[in-house]
Amino acid sequence: MKVSILEDYEQMSQVTAQAIIDQIKQKPNSLLCLAGGHTPLKSYQIFVKTIKDQQIDVSQCSFVSLDEWVGLDREISGSCQETLYDSVFDHLPIRNEQICFFNGLATDMAAECHHIDNFIRQHGTIDLTLLGIGMNGHIGFNEPGVNPNQYSHIVDLDPMTQRISVKYFEQPIEVKQGITLGMKHIFETKTIILIANDIKKASIVKQTMEEEATEQVPSSLLQRHPHVHVILDQGAASLLT
Ligand code: F6R
């Protein structure tokens, strides 16, 4: 794992945004998978501003969903899809056909999984996946006890994920399941960027990077991927030896 430890959240976000931009410059028709959640929000702000300021062409890129809360779609503020539209897609000249996202309201969830798996297959594989880390080590919604041999699937959310979910929504919403890319997609990604900030992530970052890789801490399985760049602020890195 390549590790970058930056002074603060702002600098962590700068380095993260630049890494996504470098990928697009190097391969303009990249397939990118960008996490929702709070950690990448500043990176996305910087990413959008840089794309605009430097007039970088994103017309050939494609974007695939990492995950979604079952029962929610883009209409709900705090859904993964809404987060990505609000922070990235709505601000850039990106066409609908460049984007393929899980619909958490789909009536046929198995078809929804096939739809995403096929979109990825048509592109070969994901070029870059940007991941945050859940407090329990989940990546996407690959929760503790994950089966590492799955592509897209429905998952029962870990109790910790259900508890923490309230931070994303303006109104009380109970979420019990997620739909997510599987570990197999994540492992087949050419480059992975894993980001974390703040001291509250320090313990899970240490487990991810320095303790034995285990399915109980899905993020720790990334130790086995050959091209992972972990980008942290000092708080998140504070327990690393
Ligand atoms: C979101 C996602 C989740 C988050 C993780 C960290 O699409 O896949 O795995 O990355 O829960 O969330 P934050 O960044 O809010 O701490």
| Residue range 78-87, pLDDT digits in tens | 999 999 999 9
- ipTM > 0.90, yes or no: yes
Residue 114 corresponds to which tokens in the numbers above? Answer: 């096939």
Residue 65 corresponds to which tokens in the numbers above? Answer: 């969903």
Contact between 92 and 157 under an 8 Å Cβ cutoff? The reply is no
Query: Of the residues 12, 67, 166, which should be mutated to test ligand 1's pocket, given the most ligand atoms within 8 Å of the CB?
Result: 67
Distance CA(105)–CA(42), nearest Å, equals: 28
Contact between 82 and 101 under an 8 Å Cβ cutoff? The reply is no
Give the distance from CA 167 to its chain's centroid.
17
Residue 90 sits in a domain whose CATH number is 3.40.50.1360
Q: Is residue 115 part of a domain?
A: yes
Distance CA(64)–CA(117), nearest Å, equals: 10
Contact between 179 and 113 under an 8 Å Cβ cutoff? The reply is yes
pLDDT at 80: 97
Concatenate the DSSP letters of all residues of 80-121 into one string: HHHHHHHHTGGGTT--GGGEE---TT-S-HHHHHHHHHHHHH
143 CB less than 6 Å from ligand 1?
Answer: no
78 CB less than 6 Å from ligand 1?
Answer: no
66 CB less than 6 Å from ligand 1?
Answer: yes
Residue 138 annotated among the catalytic residues of the structure: yes
Q: Which residues of the chain carry a pLDDT beneath 70?
A: none
Q: Is residue 227 part of a domain?
A: no
Burial pattern 124-161, b for ≥16 Cβ within 10 A else e, equals eebbbbbbbbbebbbbbbbbbebeeebbbbebebbeeb
End-to-end CA distance of the chain: 15
Q: Is residue 76 part of a domain?
A: yes
Q: Is residue 148 part of a domain?
A: yes
Distance CA(141)–CA(189), nearest Å, equals: 16
Catalytic residue among 68, 138, 153, 225: 138
pLDDT at 23: 98
How does pLDDT run across 160-219, given as a tens digit for each residue?
A: 999 999 999 998 999 999 999 999 999 999 999 999 999 999 999 999 999 999 999 999
pLDDT at 179: 98
pLDDT at 222: 98
pLDDT at 233: 98
Q: Is residue 238 part of a domain?
A: no
Residue 156 annotated among the catalytic residues of the structure: no
pLDDT at 61: 98
Domain holding 59, by residue range, is 8-191
235 CB less than 6 Å from ligand 1?
Answer: no
pTM above 0.95, yes or no: yes
pLDDT at 92: 98
Q: Is residue 15 part of a domain?
A: yes
Residue 57 annotated among the catalytic residues of the structure: no
36 CB less than 6 Å from ligand 1?
Answer: yes
Q: Which of 137, 114, 105, 129 is nearest to 218 (CA)?
A: 137
Sign of CA dihedral 186, 46, 196, 144: negative
Q: Is residue 198 part of a domain?
A: no
Q: Is residue 232 part of a domain?
A: no
Catalytic residue among 68, 82, 143, 233: 143
Contact between 117 and 151 under an 8 Å Cβ cutoff? The reply is yes
pLDDT at 31: 98
Q: Give the total number of structural domains in the chain.
A: 1
Q: Which of 46, 69, 47, 220 is nearest to 133 (CA)?
A: 220
pLDDT at 74: 94
